[in-house]
């Protein structure tokens, strides 16, 4: 009896306070999380500051406060309010992608066709958002001294999706200290789609003071368009960006700081990935630029000596080549070094050309790990070449003939079809190389890229790792498994063929928990990356049919999300299987044995209710 009493006492005296304490802690933890989420961040503060400055200059223009001034101010505030900087987590981005109506579907389909990424989500995000700070923690403590340089940001575009383009521009304005930002030069490379040029030009002229809108007289291709843009720039440093980027916290300071120490260094930020299906902003690994003998750019793993450097992640990383789209260099150095090869058309090759030229003609090319910029990586280029033909191969041929000396043979061997192509006149570039007294390609390979394997030679530098494609692909980590049951019919999802048959459609069948075979062919494994593997073999995927139904089928797991990512989403009582890349949900064609599965608008009807157990 006494014992029981003391136990009761214990419970009352310790149990209750402990529960209260725990609840309080949990609650405040929750509050802290939500508070962090909504905290006015630097972007918002900067936006407010910009608004005040703008209002001030409007006042001056109007000679004091007047009704017109009030009106203009109101319009300005509206733009800013609409543009409240939002930070999206993955779940919110997924919900932005849900296709709600045929109009959404149209916007989405046309977006993929014209721009090769998800325009529906891009539009919903709008012109401003805060992206996750992907920098290494040690970068966050760096204090920048005042830098005596200013930058002109040159952004060329051809038929770019308007919200992605304006988010690029606004992200630069939001994230760059005004004293470092001379101007943004927006080069329209004679876009042909509907009214994109006009729409952007009008917006820029109405709302963005520090942005110069210029248009090429006719389509030039990105290489000549950049030179055209650079010629309109007046900052000390040129920063080139693609037209679908979002810059990260303190992105420009470390680039300019490095250039201020060494005027002949060309610097590149770490290029983070913005997912073309979901617009998620994801951190990229620290790698550097290389190339193969077909003159394709590739990412290489860092040599072991760099990986073991205690200052890795803070120190600039010399890079044999760059991806091409995002870099900064002094404007006078850009002109001194011969800008770009104006004989190159539309797309490709200029990145290796300028990389070789920088190193061989006395400069340096470095990746600055504390500077990060996101770029929408697409699966295909949504535009062609008006003259037809493969501009990459022709441009690469020019690179080989001007810069690669006897090593051009390796390229020609790799690309025999290039041998017969007319690559135009290269005499200007050959004399530029002489005029700048550039070193040989052999010197470049030996000193800058000793890890490169030259066919037929063994290189005796430290063991060279090809950047394995699947380094980015993680081994699937399984979080749970079970049968995938369609709730209404109590039938199980399995393959129409053997579970290892690629491209096989999925179908409903009686749940078989008794036989080993049944268990195996109906056992689904869910991974941390939201994949669903049948029998741990193939992944639940969907055909990307532009017309007709998109049927669910089994495909080799690629680990890149997209059509193989599935998230459980609750709609009322129902658990839906949502595919963020398509904005749609898994649905049965008929709730009977033999019924198939396809993607449909997420309505939450009984055709879409599933469970994994
Ligand atoms: O005719 C054109 N005129 C243009 O102004 C064709 C394109 N462009 C614009 C286009 O709108 C975009 O802003 O040029 C820019 C680059 O074109 P993308 O985005 O189609 O190119 P990409 O990102 O597929 O290709 C990479 O390689 C190119 C080789 O010519 C360029 O150097 C790109 O800038 C480059 N992009 C990057 O380096 C970003 C990181 C990608 C990686 C790896
Ligand atoms: Mn690009």
Task: Point out the ligand 1 atom lying closest to the alpha carbon of residue 382.
Answer: 20
Task: Point out the ligand 1 atom lying closest to the alpha carbon of residue 351.
Answer: 32
The whole-number pLDDT of residue 464 equals: 43
The whole-number pLDDT of residue 45 equals: 57
* Mean pLDDT calculated for residue range 44-48: 57
- Structural domain includes residue 257: yes
User: Has residue 540 got a pLDDT over 60?
Assistant: yes
Task: Point out the ligand 1 atom lying closest to the alpha carbon of residue 299.
Answer: 43
User: Has residue 556 got a pLDDT over 60?
Assistant: yes
User: Rounded to an integer, what is the distance from CA 288 to the centroid of its chain?
Assistant: 17
**CATH code assigned at 257:** 3.90.550.10
**Residue pLDDT, tens place only, 100-120:** 999 999 999 999 999 999 999
Length of the chain: 613
Among 344, 376, 408, give the residue marking a domain's end: 376
* Mean pLDDT calculated for residue range 55-74: 70
* Mean pLDDT calculated for residue range 578-602: 94
**Residue pLDDT, tens place only, 206-224:** 999 999 999 999 999 999 9
* Mean pLDDT calculated for residue range 160-165: 96
Same domain, 339 and 220: yes
Same domain, 367 and 516: no
The whole-number pLDDT of residue 29 equals: 36
User: In angstroms, rounded to a whole number, what is the distance separating the alpha carbons of residues 375 and 316?
Assistant: 20
The whole-number pLDDT of residue 13 equals: 64
Residue 291: CB within 6 Å of ligand 1?
no
Same domain, 366 and 494: no
Instruction: Report which protein residue has its CA nearest ligand 1's atom 8.
Output: 222
Confidence of residue 533 (pLDDT cuts 50, 70, 90): very high
- Structural domain includes residue 83: no
Instruction: Report which protein residue has its CA nearest ligand 1's atom 28.
Output: 348
Same domain, 344 and 482: no
Confidence of residue 228 (pLDDT cuts 50, 70, 90): very high
201 close to 157: Cβ distance less than 8 angstroms: no
C-alpha distance from residue 149 to each of 232, 263, 325, 373 (Å): 17, 11, 21, 20
- 376: number of Cβ within 10 Å: 24
- Structural domain includes residue 186: yes
Residue 392: CB within 6 Å of ligand 1?
no
Query: Mean pLDDT score of the chain, rounded to an integer?
Result: 88
Same domain, 366 and 512: no
Task: Point out the ligand 1 atom lying closest to the alpha carbon of residue 189.
Answer: 5
Tell me if residue 398 falls in helix, strand or coil: helix
Residue 322: CB within 6 Å of ligand 1?
no
**Beta bridge pairs of residue 507:** 494, 596
The whole-number pLDDT of residue 419 equals: 86
User: 302 C-alpha vs ligand 1 centroid, how far in Å?
Assistant: 24
395 close to 403: Cβ distance less than 8 angstroms: no
Rg value, the chain, Cα: 28
**CATH code assigned at 600:** 2.80.10.50
Ligand number nearest to the C-alpha of 115: 1
Same domain, 167 and 293: yes
Scanning the structure block, which residue is given the tokens 């101010």? 73
User: Rounded to an integer, what is the distance from CA 32 to the centroid of its chain?
Assistant: 29
Residue 382: CB within 6 Å of ligand 1?
no
User: 381 C-alpha vs ligand 2 centroid, how far in Å?
Assistant: 9
Q: Which residues contact 531 (CB under 8 A, 6 or more apart)?
A: 476, 539, 540, 557, 559, 564, 565, 566
Task: Point out the ligand 1 atom lying closest to the alpha carbon of residue 160.
Answer: 11
Helices (H), ranges, 441-560: 441-447, 516-521
User: 446 C-alpha vs ligand 2 centroid, how far in Å?
Assistant: 31
User: Has residue 37 got a pLDDT over 60?
Assistant: no
Sign of the alpha-carbon torsion through 122, 125, 127, 129 = negative
User: Has residue 21 got a pLDDT over 80?
Assistant: no
97 close to 583: Cβ distance less than 8 angstroms: yes
User: Ligand 1, residues 160, 216, 242: which to mutate, most atoms within 8 A of Cβ?
Assistant: 242
User: Has residue 381 got a pLDDT over 70?
Assistant: yes
User: Has residue 60 got a pLDDT over 80?
Assistant: no
User: Has residue 512 got a pLDDT over 70?
Assistant: yes
The whole-number pLDDT of residue 223 equals: 98
- Structural domain includes residue 418: no
User: Has residue 236 got a pLDDT over 80?
Assistant: yes
**Residue pLDDT, tens place only, 259-278:** 999 999 999 999 999 999 99
Instruction: Report which protein residue has its CA nearest ligand 1's atom 15.
Output: 242
Are β-strands 317-318 and 364-377 bridged in parallel, bridged antiparallel, or unpaired? antiparallel
Structural domain that includes position 499: 478-612
The whole-number pLDDT of residue 463 equals: 42
Ligand number nearest to the C-alpha of 326: 1
Residue 379: CB within 6 Å of ligand 1?
no
Instruction: Report which protein residue has its CA nearest ligand 1's atom 35.
Output: 325
User: In angstroms, rounded to a whole number, what is the distance separating the alpha carbons of residues 571 and 565?
Assistant: 19
The whole-number pLDDT of residue 19 equals: 59
250 close to 536: Cβ distance less than 8 angstroms: no
* Mean pLDDT calculated for residue range 296-309: 94
Same domain, 195 and 314: yes
User: 190 C-alpha vs ligand 2 centroid, how far in Å?
Assistant: 17
User: 128 C-alpha vs ligand 2 centroid, how far in Å?
Assistant: 19
Residue 158: CB within 6 Å of ligand 1?
yes
User: 359 C-alpha vs ligand 2 centroid, how far in Å?
Assistant: 24
User: In angstroms, rounded to a whole number, what is the distance separating the alpha carbons of residues 143 and 325?
Assistant: 27
Tally of domains within the chain:
2
User: Has residue 35 got a pLDDT over 50?
Assistant: no
* Mean pLDDT calculated for residue range 53-77: 68
Same domain, 366 and 485: no
User: Ligand 1, residues 238, 323, 326, 376: which to mutate, most atoms within 8 A of Cβ?
Assistant: 323
Confidence of residue 227 (pLDDT cuts 50, 70, 90): very high
Q: Which two tokens stand for residue 498?
A: 């053997």
309 close to 406: Cβ distance less than 8 angstroms: no
Same domain, 364 and 500: no
- Structural domain includes residue 249: yes
Confidence of residue 15 (pLDDT cuts 50, 70, 90): low
Task: Point out the ligand 1 atom lying closest to the alpha carbon of residue 242.
Answer: 13
- Structural domain includes residue 45: no
The whole-number pLDDT of residue 84 equals: 57
Q: Dihedral (C-alpha) 196, 198, 200, 203: value to the nearest 10 degrees?
A: -140
Among 339, 360, 376, give the residue marking a domain's end: 376
Tell me if residue 341 falls in helix, strand or coil: coil
Percent of the chain clearing pLDDT 90 (strictly above): 72
Same domain, 183 and 296: yes
Through-space distance between the first and last CA atoms of the chain, rounded to whole angstroms: 46
Nearest alpha carbon to residue 562 among 282, 281, 285, 276: 276
* Mean pLDDT calculated for residue range 488-507: 96
DSSP string of 406-443, one letter each residue: GGHHHHHHH-GGGGG------HHHHHHHHHTT---HHH
Q: Which two tokens stand for residue 500?
A: 């290892």
* Mean pLDDT calculated for residue range 479-506: 96
User: Has residue 10 got a pLDDT over 70?
Assistant: no
Instruction: Report which protein residue has its CA nearest ligand 1's atom 30.
Output: 348
* Mean pLDDT calculated for residue range 485-495: 97
Task: Point out the ligand 1 atom lying closest to the alpha carbon of residue 187.
Answer: 5
* Mean pLDDT calculated for residue range 423-446: 98
Residue 272: CB within 6 Å of ligand 1?
no
The whole-number pLDDT of residue 11 equals: 56
The whole-number pLDDT of residue 472 equals: 46
Ligand number nearest to the C-alpha of 186: 1
Same domain, 279 and 144: yes
**Residue pLDDT, tens place only, 386-404:** 998 899 999 999 999 999 9
User: Has residue 163 got a pLDDT over 50?
Assistant: yes
User: In angstroms, rounded to a whole number, what is the distance separating the alpha carbons of residues 227 and 214?
Assistant: 12
User: 233 C-alpha vs ligand 2 centroid, how far in Å?
Assistant: 21
Q: How many CA atoms lie within 13 A of 233 on its CB side?
A: 32
Are β-strands 211-215 and 181-188 bridged in parallel, bridged antiparallel, or unpaired? parallel
Tell me if residue 222 falls in helix, strand or coil: helix
User: 326 C-alpha vs ligand 2 centroid, how far in Å?
Assistant: 9
Q: Which residues contact 610 (CB under 8 A, 6 or more apart)?
A: 484, 485, 486, 487, 493, 575, 576, 577, 586
Nearest alpha carbon to residue 279 among 139, 82, 479, 115: 115
- Structural domain includes residue 65: no
**Beta bridge pairs of residue 486:** 491, 610
User: Rounded to an integer, what is the distance from CA 171 to the centroid of its chain?
Assistant: 14
User: Ligand 1, residues 187, 226, 324, 380: which to mutate, most atoms within 8 A of Cβ?
Assistant: 324
C-alpha distance from residue 266 to each of 132, 187, 237, 295, 316 (Å): 26, 22, 10, 21, 11
Ligand number nearest to the C-alpha of 241: 1
User: 303 C-alpha vs ligand 1 centroid, how far in Å?
Assistant: 27
Confidence of residue 16 (pLDDT cuts 50, 70, 90): low
Among 357, 376, 395, give the residue marking a domain's end: 376
Residue 180: CB within 6 Å of ligand 1?
no
């Amino acid at each position: 009896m006494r014992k029981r009493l003391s136990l009761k006492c214990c419970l009352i005296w310790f149990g209750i306070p402990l529960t209260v304490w725990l609840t309080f802690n949990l609650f405040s933890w929750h509050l802290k999380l939500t508070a962090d989420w909504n905290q006015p961040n630097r972007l918002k503060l900067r936006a407010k500051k910009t608004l005040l400055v703008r209002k001030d200059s409007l006042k001056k223009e109007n000679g004091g406060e007047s009704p017109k001034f009030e009106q203009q101010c109101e319009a300005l505030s509206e733009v800013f309010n609409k543009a409240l900087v939002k930070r999206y987590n993955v779940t919110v981005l997924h919900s932005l992608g849900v296709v709600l109506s045929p109009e959404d579907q149209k916007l989405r389909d046309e977006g993929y066709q014209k721009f090769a990424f998800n325009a529906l989500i891009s539009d919903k995000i709008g012109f401003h958002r805060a992206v996750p700070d992907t920098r290494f923690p040690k970068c966050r403590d760096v204090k920048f001294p005042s830098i005596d340089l200013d930058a002109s940001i040159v952004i060329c575009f051809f038929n770019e999706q308007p919200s992605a383009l304006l988010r690029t521009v606004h992200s630069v304005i939001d994230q760059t200290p005004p004293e470092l930002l001379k101007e943004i030069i927006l080069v329209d490379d004679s876009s042909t789609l509907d009214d994109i040029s006009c729409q952007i030009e009008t917006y820029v002229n109405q709302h963005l003071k520090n942005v110069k809108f210029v248009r090429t007289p006719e389509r030039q291709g990105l290489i000549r368009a950049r030179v055209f843009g650079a010629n309109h720039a007046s900052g000390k440093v040129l920063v080139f960006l693609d037209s679908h980027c979002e810059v990260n916290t303190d992105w420009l300071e470390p680039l300019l700081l490095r250039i201020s120490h060494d005027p002949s260094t060309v610097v590149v930020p770490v290029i983070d990935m913005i997912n073309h299906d979901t617009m998620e902003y994801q951190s990229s690994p620290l790698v550097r630029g290389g190339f193969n003998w077909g003159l394709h750019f590739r990412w290489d793993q860092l040599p072991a000596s760099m990986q073991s450097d205690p200052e890795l992640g803070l120190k600039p990383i010399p890079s044999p080549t760059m991806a091409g789209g995002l870099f900064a260099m002094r404007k006078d150095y850009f002109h001194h070094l011969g800008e770009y090869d104006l004989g190159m058309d539309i797309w490709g090759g200029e990145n290796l050309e300028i990389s070789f030229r920088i190193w061989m003609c006395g400069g340096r090319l470095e990746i600055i790990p504390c500077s990060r910029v996101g770029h929408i990586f697409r699966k295909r280029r949504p535009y062609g070449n008006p003259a037809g033909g493969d501009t990459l191969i022709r441009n690469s041929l020019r690179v080989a003939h001007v810069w690669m000396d006897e090593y051009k043979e390796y390229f020609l061997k790799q690309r025999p079809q290039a041998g017969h192509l007319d690559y135009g006149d290269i005499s200007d570039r050959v004399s530029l190389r002489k005029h700048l007294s550039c070193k040989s390609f052999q010197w470049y390979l030996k000193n800058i890229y000793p890890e490169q394997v030259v066919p037929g030679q063994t290189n005796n530098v430290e063991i060279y790792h090809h950047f394995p494609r699947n380094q980015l692909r993680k081994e699937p980590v399984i979080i749970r498994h079970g049968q995938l049951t369609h709730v209404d019919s109590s039938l199980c999802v399995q393959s129409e063929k053997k579970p290892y048959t690629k491209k096989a459609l999925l179908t409903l069948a009686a749940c078989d928990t008794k036989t080993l075979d049944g268990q195996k062919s109906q056992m689904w494994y869910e991974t941390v990356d939201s994949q669903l593997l049948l029998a741990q073999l193939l992944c639940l995927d969907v055909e990307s049919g532009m017309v007709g139904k998109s049927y669910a089928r089994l495909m080799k797991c690629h680990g890149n999300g997209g059509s193989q990512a599935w998230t459980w989403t609750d709609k009322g009582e129902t658990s839906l299987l949502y595919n963020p890349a398509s904005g749609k949900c898994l649905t049965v064609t008929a709730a009977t044995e033999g019924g198939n599965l396809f993607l449909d608008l997420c309505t939450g009807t009984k055709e879409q209710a599933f469970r994994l157990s």
